[in-house]
Amino acid sequence: MGRFRSQAESALWISITAVAYFAAAEVGLRMALVGDQVTPLWPSTGVAVACLFLFGLRAWPGITLGALAVNALLGPNVPAVVMIAAGNTAAPVVAYLLLKRVGFHRDFDSVRDVLELVFLGALAATLISATIGTVTLLLAGTVSAHGFWGTWSVWWTGDAMGVLLIAPLILVAKDFRMPGALSPLRVFEATTLAVGTLVVAVSATAVSANLLFLVFPFLIWAAMRFHLAGALPCALIASTVAIVAVTLDFPAFTGLDLTAKMITLQAFNGSVALTALLHATITAQRDRARQAVDDTCAELAQTVITISEGRPLGGVVDMIRRVQSQPPSADTD
């Protein structure tokens, strides 16, 4: 009975992963820059990494099934579809294994977790899918030798941005709990941040790419006030607007060739993701440290009152031991 239940759970996680991967791919393909299948934001890779952390390594067949279903609709032929699906599976699996190896915490306890996600999960592991996919398209005749590096850069950027923007959003949303009493002012502030980010990003892409820096105050504000739960949605909004602007050739990107567009887009999206992740993580870290100090001060104040009233100290020794056993602040990470 226990074995059957375990197999049923595995089948469920695999099915959820496959459906989520396919749905995310359909969204990403709307922003394709090269042909119909290479996009600067591939949400499916981020979904795949998140599913592996949520369901474990047993969910990897779902990634393969989702990738096969997506690429079967795009072609160009069966061997190419299989190779691309293999690369799309290998990248998130390698990202997951690398992050687990270095002790990555999916709730982003410290800056170290952010850097591990950036360098191992996003930049390193996605080299696999970008290289296998682009070489496959080259051999299939879909991409010319002249367009190889442009296609590779779009593919790599798309997978990396999927890991940086989508995976943390899913992992944070999984553990997010809505406060019991939500202040109307708080709701208004969060709405203003999201709408403001959207308006500024759209306005900037309609004029000049140089104005895109105006979204960063909104990202920092969201990170300081709402941590990752606020910063990541704003970062996703800004990046999505920039990608759509490139896809539709908005004035901010008019006249640039594919390589120039990708350099500009990658620099912007990378800066947006890093700003959101780092500021939110550092702010949350600071708030936790402050709360720990406040709790300790409250306990010490209660101890002083207890002593002044001549009552037994009770749990004072336990409190002191608890304070001494607390790890040092991780601000140096």
Task: Quick: pLDDT tens for 131-152.
Answer: 999 999 888 888 888 878 878 8
Q: Is the pLDDT of residue 153 over 60?
A: yes
Average pLDDT in the chain: 83
pTM of the model: 0.79
Residues 6+ apart with CB under 8 A from 268: 209, 212, 239, 242
Q: Sorting pLDDT into bands at 50, 70 and 90, what band is 332?
A: very low
288-320 residue pLDDT tens:
778 878 778 877 777 777 776 665 555 555 555
* End-to-end CA gap in the chain: 46
230-245 residue pLDDT tens:
888 999 999 888 888 8
**43: amino acid identity, one letter:** P
Q: How far is CA 290 from CA 148, 223, 293, 297, 304, in A?
A: 51, 17, 5, 11, 21
Q: So what's the pLDDT on residue 331? A: 46
Q: Sorting pLDDT into bands at 50, 70 and 90, what band is 227?
A: confident
165-220 residue pLDDT tens:
899 889 888 776 665 556 788 888 889 999 999 999 999 888 887 788 889 999 99
Q: Rounded to 5 degrees, what are φ and ψ at 38?
A: -115, 115
Spell out a b/e string for 106-145, using b for 16 or more CB atoms within 10 Å of the CB, else e.
Answer: bebbbbbbbbbbbebbbbebbbbbbebbbbbbbebebbee
Q: Sorting pLDDT into bands at 50, 70 and 90, what band is 33?
A: low
47-80 residue pLDDT tens:
999 999 999 898 899 999 999 998 888 777 888 8
What domains does the chain contain, in order, with CATH numbers? 1-176 (1.10.1760), 184-333 (no CATH)
Q: So what's the pLDDT on residue 11? A: 86
Q: So what's the pLDDT on residue 49? A: 94
Q: Is the pLDDT of residue 1 over 80?
A: no
Q: Is the pLDDT of residue 29 over 50?
A: yes
Residues constituting the chain: 333
Q: Residue 264's Cα: distance from chain center in Å? A: 20
Question: DSSP secondary structure string, 222-280?
Answer: HHHHHHHHHHHHHHHHHHHHHHHHHHTT-GGGTT--HHHHHHHHHHHHHHHHHHHHHHH
Q: Sorting pLDDT into bands at 50, 70 and 90, what band is 97?
A: very high
Question: Any idea what DSSP says for residue 146?
Answer: T
Beta bridge partners of 38: 34
